């Protein structure tokens, strides 16, 4: 009777936020699991607390696995008394625990681009490091894993880029498996090469010349080979080009026919095939009557 009165006085003095013997569901933890083992057992137990309970986060129920090897055990559940509690009981006070040796399986890592780059870019290469991963865990869980992959987002990326991506273990239906396995490593380094999409187009060549032939001489004929070339570059830039100019052909003071290679003047980032054209220039004297003279 005296103990009951003292307990009641203590609870009242603490400003109890719980009634005596309140039932609390709490996670059951497993401590000191041996290396190379997996554990399976109940996830939760019920606690009955006597006294003031102001912070449920302080409640701890655990099973000590120290020194245990593979096998089936019935083990006591230990309770760490929470702050403000007089004492606590746990239900059940013993649980069945199964310890099994860790199983291992090696799988190649696949990747999935779930967010593609800008439409102006294309993926030239994707390299994942490492290329394989190790699965550790319960045999039944490992058997369910059919694919390990990383999901890659390439939004707002360009050029050569590197980043890390977490690994996902998936079953045959593509569902994620979280319980009973461990992935080593848990994430991989992804190296991606992106390039602007290329387009090619056939365009004409415009000859640019400067100056006049020497007095008494005239330009009789110009011939260019080739007069159409192919340009290669970003789609949007190539589409805007209808013809390509040559570098300047100087005719000032010329008296004789000649041939000359001229470079094509293309915008930066655009390539021309071929990059030069050959110009044949026919120059001759003007006779006294204003006609042509060989």
Q: Let me know the angle formed at the C-alpha of 45 by 39 and 51, rounded to the nearest 5 degrees.
A: 140
> Which structural domain range is residue 86 located in?
2-101
Strand partners, 276: 263
Q: Say if strands 160-170 and 228-234 run parallel, antiparallel, or are unpaired.
A: unpaired
Does one domain contain both 13 and 45?
yes
φ and ψ at 273, to 5 degrees? -130, 115
| Residues 208-257: tens digit of each pLDDT | 999 999 999 999 999 999 999 999 988 888 989 999 999 999 999 999 99
Shared domain check, 214 and 146: no
pLDDT tens readout for residues 27-86: 999 999 888 888 889 999 988 877 655 545 567 889 999 999 889 999 999 988 766 666
Q: Which of 164, 192, 220 is the last residue of a domain?
A: 192
278 and 225 Cβ atoms separated by less than 8 Å: yes
Count the alpha carbons within 13 Å of 77 in the hemisphere toward its beta carbon.
Answer: 26
Domain count, the chain: 3
Residue 266 in this model has a pLDDT that exceeds 70: yes
| Domain closes at, from 55, 77, 101 | 101
**Above pLDDT 90, what percent of the chain?**
55
Q: In DSSP terms, which residues pair with 27 in a beta bridge? A: 44
Write the pLDDT tens digit of every residue in 158-183.
889 999 999 999 999 999 998 888 89
Q: Give exposure, 25-62, as e/b (b: 16+ Cβ within 10 Å).
A: ebebebeeeeeeebbbbeeebebebbbbbeeeeebbbb
Where is the domain boundary, 36, 71, 101? 101
E strand or H helix at 81, and its extent? none
Sign (positive or negative) of CA dihedral 206, 207, 209, 213: negative
**Token pair for 156:** 């707002």
- CA-to-CA dists, residue 104 to 14, 72, 139, 170, 172, angstroms: 52, 21, 8, 16, 18
106, part of any domain: no
pLDDT digits (tens, 9 = 90+) for 140-149: 888 899 999 9
Whether pTM > 0.85 for this model: the answer is no
Residues 92 and 122 grouped into a single domain: no
User: What is the residue whose two structure tokens read 């449920």?
Assistant: 56
- 35 with 72, same domain: the answer is yes
Q: Which residues fall within 8 angstroms of residue 88, CB to CB, at 6 or more apart?
A: 47, 48, 49, 50, 59, 79, 81, 82
3-state helix, strand, coil in the chain (%, to 5): 10, 60, 30
């Amino acid at each position: 009777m005296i103990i009951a009165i003292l307990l009641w006085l203590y609870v009242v003095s603490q400003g109890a936020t719980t009634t005596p013997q309140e039932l609390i569901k709490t996670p059951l933890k497993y401590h000191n699991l041996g290396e190379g083992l997996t554990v399976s057992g109940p996830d939760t137990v019920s606690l009955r607390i006597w006294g003031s309970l102001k912070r449920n986060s302080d409640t701890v129920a655990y099973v000590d696995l120290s020194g245990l090897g593979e096998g089936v055990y019935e083990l006591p559940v230990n309770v760490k008394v929470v702050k403000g509690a007089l004492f606590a009981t746990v239900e059940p006070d013993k649980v069945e625990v199964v310890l099994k040796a860790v199983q291992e399986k090696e799988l190649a890592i696949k990747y999935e681009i779930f967010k593609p780059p800008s439409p102006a870019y294309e993926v030239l290469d994707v390299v994942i490091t490492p290329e394989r991963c190790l699965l550790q865990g319960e045999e039944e869980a490992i058997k369910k894993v059919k694919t390990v992959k990383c999901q890659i987002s390439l939004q707002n990326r360009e050029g050569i880029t590197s980043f890390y991506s977490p690994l996902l273990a998936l079953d045959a239906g593509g569902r994620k498996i979280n319980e009973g396995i461990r992935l080593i490593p848990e994430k991989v380094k992804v190296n991606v090469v992106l390039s602007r999409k290329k387009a090619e187009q056939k365009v004409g060549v415009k000859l640019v010349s400067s100056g006049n032939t020497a007095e008494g001489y005239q330009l009789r004929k110009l011939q260019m080979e080739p007069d159409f070339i192919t340009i290669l570059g970003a789609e949007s830039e190539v589409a805007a080009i209808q013809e390509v100019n040559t570098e300047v052909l100087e005719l000032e003071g010329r008296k004789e026919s000649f041939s000359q290679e001229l470079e094509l003047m293309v915008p930066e980032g655009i390539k021309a095939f071929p990059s030069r054209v050959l110009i044949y220039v026919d120059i001759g004297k003007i006779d006294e009557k204003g006609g042509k003279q060989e």
